[in-house]
Amino acid sequence: MKNTGTETAAFRKSSYSGAANSNCVEVAAALDGGVLLRDSKAPAGVVLRVPGEAARAFFDLLRNR
């Protein structure tokens, strides 16, 4: 398995997260061009890696709603 940079990734929260910081997903760029996702309430927990093309298609779908 390739090193995707999970340990050193610069995760960020959406500007839509709100002040309560509840139910937030954090996003970071993976070293291999993919996207890393994690729960902001459990930053040491599971990190999901999504291939770059799939992530772009998903985010485009959300933007165009």
**C-alpha torsion angle, residues 35, 36, 39, 42 (rounded to 10):** -170
**Into how many domains does the chain fold?**
1
Residue-wise pLDDT for 11-54, tens only, equals: 998 766 666 656 788 999 999 999 999 988 888 889 999 999 99
The pLDDT of residue 42 is: 87
Q: Is pLDDT larger for residue 57 or for residue 4?
A: 57
3-state secondary structure of 52: helix
The pLDDT of residue 20 is: 66
Q: Is pLDDT larger for residue 21 or for residue 62?
A: 62
Question: Does residue 3 belong to any structural domain of this protein?
Answer: no
The pLDDT of residue 1 is: 52
Nearest to 36 by CA among 57, 8, 65: 8
Domain housing 52 = 23-63
C-alpha triplet 55, 29, 5: angle, nearest 5°: 125
The pLDDT of residue 25 is: 86
